[in-house]
Structure 1
Amino acid sequence: MRIVVTSVFVDDQEKALRFYTETLGFVKKADVPLGDARWLTVVSPEDPDGTELLLEPDGHPAVRPFKQALVEDGIPLTSFAVDDVQSEFERLRTLGVAFTQEPVAAGDVTTAVFDDTCGNLIQIANT
């Protein structure tokens, strides 16, 4: 068994696509119209056949309160691996990304948390 697709709920798919591709550096993989929404996925350019991240609309009534509660408590929705958290933090901050947690070391792991502009907090951690 392996993970093929995972999701982040976004408040605006087009805005999310711009942020996740132009700012974070992911690459669009699938873009299929589905009524008012799209099956819209991105992948890492380092692993184009790897796990897809679905930029899923947050229209279900349970989603927005869930996202809001996580943000209010400072809890990231998901985590992305990077080689160097400090370098990625500096690169993203230069691009205007708002961080809610600057890099923090905890043993062998360093993490930082940013706002994805679509209603989520995302953690980056060293690999």
Structure 2
Amino acid sequence: MRINLSSIFVDDQAKALRFYTEVLGFVAKADVPLGEHRWLTVVSPDDPNGTELVLEPDAHPASKVFMAALVDDGIPATSFAVDDVAAEFARLRGLGVRFTQEPAEMGPVTTAVFDDTCGNLIQIAQLT
């Protein structure tokens, strides 16, 4: 058994696709129209056949409440692995990404947290 898909809710799929591809550097994998929304996934360019991240529309009323509660409490919706948190922090900050937590060592990991502009906080993490 392996993880095939993981989802995050986004407030605007087109905006999310731009952010996740143009800023974060993921690659669009699936983009299938489904009425008002799309089946929209991105993958790591380093692993194009790996786990897909579904940019799920936050159309269900509970998703908006859930997302807002996580942001209000400073809890990331998900975490992405990076080789060097400090370098990725500098790169993303240079692109205008707003961080809510600068790089911090937490035992065996270094993490930072940013706003994805689509309703989520996202953590980046590096095993140290």
Shorter-chain TM-score range: over 0.9
How far did 1:90 drift? Answer: 0.3
Q: CA RMSD in A?
A: 0.5
Question: In percent, how many aligned pairs have the same letter?
Answer: 76
Q: Secondary structure at the match of 1:38?
A: strand
Q: Secondary structure at the match of 1:62?
A: helix
The answer for unaligned runs of 5 or more in structure 1 is none
In structure 2, how many angstroms separate the alpha carbons of the residues matched to 1:24 and 1:49? Answer: 18
- 1:106 is matched with 106
In structure 2, how many angstroms separate the alpha carbons of the residues matched to 1:80 and 1:35? Answer: 30
- 1:4 is matched with 4
The answer for unaligned runs of 5 or more in structure 2 is none
- 1:57 is matched with 57
In structure 2, how many angstroms separate the alpha carbons of the residues matched to 1:78 and 1:16? Answer: 15
Give the letter aligned to residue 97 of structure 1. V
Give the letter aligned to residue 63 of structure 1. S
- TM-score between both structures, scaled by the size of structure 1: 0.99
In structure 1, how many angstroms separate the alpha carbons of the residues matched to 2:76 and 2:39? Answer: 23
In structure 1, how many angstroms separate the alpha carbons of the residues matched to 2:2 and 2:121? Answer: 25
1:37 aligns with 2:43: no
In structure 1, how many angstroms separate the alpha carbons of the residues matched to 2:7 and 2:60? Answer: 14
- 2:121 is matched with 121
Which one is further off, 105-114 or 84-93? 105-114
How far did 1:59 drift? Answer: 0.6
Q: Secondary structure at the match of 1:113?
A: strand
Give the letter aligned to residue 11 of structure 2. D
Summarize deviations over 1:47-87 as a string: whole Å, max 9, x none: 00000000000010100010000000000000000000000
